[in-house]
Structure 1
Amino acid sequence: MADTVSSAPPRSPLSSYAARFAAATRTSRGAVRLAELPFLSQLDVRLDAKGSAADAVGLALGVQLPLEPNAVARTGGSTALWLGPDEWLLVAPAGGQRDLERRIRAAAGDDPVAVTDVSAQRTTFLVSGPRARDVLAHGCSLDLHPRAFGPGRCAQTTLGRAQVVLVARDDPGAGFWVLVRSSFAGYLADWLLDAATEYL
């Protein structure tokens, strides 16, 4: 008997939290807004930052790979996060990872490059609103003041007890992305809802 492939649509790690996030946003009157951005394309890219491939990949993607530690570069729908001297996380709209990987490999040519699709590894929270920094500060040891962690900055850190990649969005009012491993998503959702309680 032939194996059958399920045609059921994918289910995000936080699909069961959508109503609770919406209720928290309503109750806080927008002071804290919580949402999931599911299924974003996420590619881990490793290459020599000083080699010709770095510039070529940036041109091919339309977003230069940032060379400054913990910096973010964004163009259109693509965002490149600096994770290390030779490592970046490329975040783009859902479903584009194969095309992005093909473009990266073609642009790198014969230069060594490693591209790993980690889209299914993490999900992304959007935490925004006037009290977003206060909520995150309850469980993050980073100085989240805009002077220290303003728009265009990212960091690998912990939030609560979960390892995350925290991204300050370009517009100060746009809040933060919190990228977390899917297996910790439920824990972090409960943590965020609890941390936001004083504003609800």
Structure 2
Amino acid sequence: MYEYHPLSGREIAIQKPAPLTIRAAPDCARFSFRIDPAALGRASEAFGLALPAKIGDAVAADGKIAVCIGPDEWYLIAPSAAQQAVERAFAALYDTVPHSLVDIGHREVGIEIEGADAALALRSAIPFDIEAMPVNTGCRTIFDKAQIVLVRETEQRFRIEVWRTFASHVWGVLTAAGREIELEI
């Protein structure tokens, strides 16, 4: 795992007008995964979670998250302790099912946004209607000027995956949005 986390220990906690918490997500294993969709069943077995087949769908269980972000592309998250097991399972699969599994854990960090005003905080820098985004969906999009993967985990909880080099910028925008929410601007 990568030692430096630019957001380590940071948290924004707003209590009014409604509770809103923005915090660095715990470190985890992250992968960019590409495969022929016809072999999705075998890939699901290797990952230990049924990978979604529809672009935009996301599934989560046992600390793992899988987001279908393209016709043959998935963003995978697993607990740090499971990284080597995931890599071994996909390596064993490669002889019979060609695919690409790339460790991107060194490149990205996560930010969790939770509370009644989570969508409002995100709306400040995302160019689409966040409120219309269904639960258990995700997409690659732009947050201000940074590319992110956005996952809506519940009605009031989102997760941003962003390149480490843009994490402080995204955090700054979220800090400003949180302050505006707090001041009811």
Listed one character per residue, the Cα deviations across residues 43-94 of structure 1 (whole Å, up to 9, x for unaligned) are: 111110113xx21121232211211111102222111111211111110112
Q: Which amino acid aligns with 1:141?
A: P
Equivalent residue, structure 2, for 1:172: 155
Listed as ranges, the gaps of 5+ residues in structure 1 are 1-8
Q: Which amino acid aligns with 1:198?
A: E
Equivalent residue, structure 1, for 2:56: 70
Equivalent residue, structure 2, for 1:4: none
User: In the alignment, is the contact (CA less than 8 A) between 1:45 and 1:87 conserved in 2?
Assistant: yes
Deviation, structure 1 residue 27? 5.0
Deviation, structure 1 residue 177? 0.3
Q: Percent identity?
A: 24
Q: TM-score, normalised to structure 1's length? A: 0.83
CA distance in 1, matches of 2:65, 2:90: 14
Q: TM-score, normalised to structure 2's length? A: 0.90
Deviation, structure 1 residue 108? 4.4
CA distance in 2, matches of 1:28, 1:101: 44
User: In the alignment, is the contact (CA less than 8 A) between 1:105 and 1:113 conserved in 2?
Assistant: no
Listed one character per residue, the Cα deviations across residues 72-129 of structure 1 (whole Å, up to 9, x for unaligned) are: 0222211111121111111011242222111122234422111100011100000111
CA distance in 1, matches of 2:100, 2:35: 7
Listed as ranges, the gaps of 5+ residues in structure 2 are none
Equivalent residue, structure 2, for 1:153: 137
User: In the alignment, is the contact (CA less than 8 A) between 1:31 and 1:199 conserved in 2?
Assistant: no
After the TM superposition, which residues 76-115 of structure 1 pair with which residues of structure 2 at under 5 Å, given as runs? 76-115=62-101
When residues 123 and 30 of structure 1 are mapped into structure 2, their CA distance, relative to the original with a 3 A threshold, is: farther
CA distance in 1, matches of 2:6, 2:18: 24
CA distance in 1, matches of 2:128, 2:94: 35
Paired residues, what number? Answer: 181
Listed one character per residue, the Cα deviations across residues 11-61 of structure 1 (whole Å, up to 9, x for unaligned) are: 31112x61xx2xx3155476210100142110111110113xx21121232
